[in-house]
Amino acid sequence: MSQDQIIDCRSEPQAIPFRIGVVLFPGFQALDAFGPMDCLNVLSRNHAVTLALLSSTLEPVTTKSPVSPHALGQAVVPTHTFETAPSLDLLLVPGGLGSRGSSPAIEETISYIRNVYPTLKYLITVCTGSGLAARAGVLDGKRATTNKRAWAEITALSGLVEWVPHARWVVDGNIWSSSGVSAGIDVTLAWIEEVYGCQVADTIANGIEYTRHRDSSHDPFAELHGL
């Protein structure tokens, strides 16, 4: 995004909408998606933003873990399939137990990430969502981070990624990757700060009464999970 566009975003709520998409797949982690989306929902009260919720089909997508038969889940309604997805400026990829292993839904998600990435201005991954980006090949040669408890499994997915163990989030080029789950709120607020300015990001954080992690390299959970 050019400096002109950044200034437009800050001063012109009615500017050309910034187009955001979020991929949903069975077993996505609820907070991976809804932490960032809550920030974007608040942003959208004063800034022109569109949001597409993308999945294989238009059927509601559950957060229920496919590997925990008794686990709870909530069902969220997609707005588009991968085939009918609109053009996007930013794609957000959550993680979750459903991102592990393989299934038709996951393979379609990975294909979509691979195909759409060259058209994006930004890609944000949350938690094990970076594993999907790695499998799509879009992290090849880049620095990235991921969930710290799932570190060994996710980093083994690609030897072509420079995995950063101690990081709340990592920025390399136009890819912003966060650590696990709630770190998605911090990477989203950091991205909002980059694009819309510090005051907008802080107003959102204070509105949702969230104590931001402001230092991307501060990561108490890396040590806690043995990294």
- Is 198 one of the catalytic residues? no
Q: Does residue number 216 form part of the binding site for a second copy (CB under 8 A)?
A: no
Quick note: the x/- pattern for a second copy over 116-155, rule CB under 8 A, is -------------------------------xxx------
Q: Please tell me the number of Cα atoms within 13 Å of 151 on its side-chain side.
A: 17
d(Cα 156, Cα 137) in Å, to the nearest integer? 13
Q: Is 106 helix (H, G, I), strand (E, B) or coil?
A: helix
Q: Does residue number 4 form part of the binding site for a second copy (CB under 8 A)?
A: no
Q: Does residue number 103 form part of the binding site for a second copy (CB under 8 A)?
A: no
DSSP letter string, 20-60: EEEE--TT--HHHHHHHHHHHHHHTTTS-EEEEEEESSSS-
Q: Does residue number 77 form part of the binding site for a second copy (CB under 8 A)?
A: yes
- If the CB atoms of residues 49 and 138 are measured against a second copy, the closer one turns out to be 49
**Which of 37, 113, 157, 195 touches a second copy (CB under 8 A)?**
37
Quick note: the x/- pattern for a second copy over 52-71, rule CB under 8 A, is -x------x--xxx--x-xx
- If the CB atoms of residues 138 and 189 are measured against a second copy, the closer one turns out to be 189
- Give all strands (DSSP E) within the chain, no chain letters: 18-23, 49-55, 61-62, 75-76, 80-81, 90-93, 122-125, 143-144, 162-163, 169-172, 175-178
Tokens (6 digits) for 212: 């931001």
d(Cα 65, Cα 115) in Å, to the nearest integer? 26
> Footprint of a second copy on this chain (CB under 8 A)?
29-31, 34-35, 37-38, 40-41, 44-45, 48-51, 53, 60, 63-65, 68, 70-77, 147-149, 179-183, 185, 206-211, 213, 220-221, 224-225
Give catalytic residue positions: 127
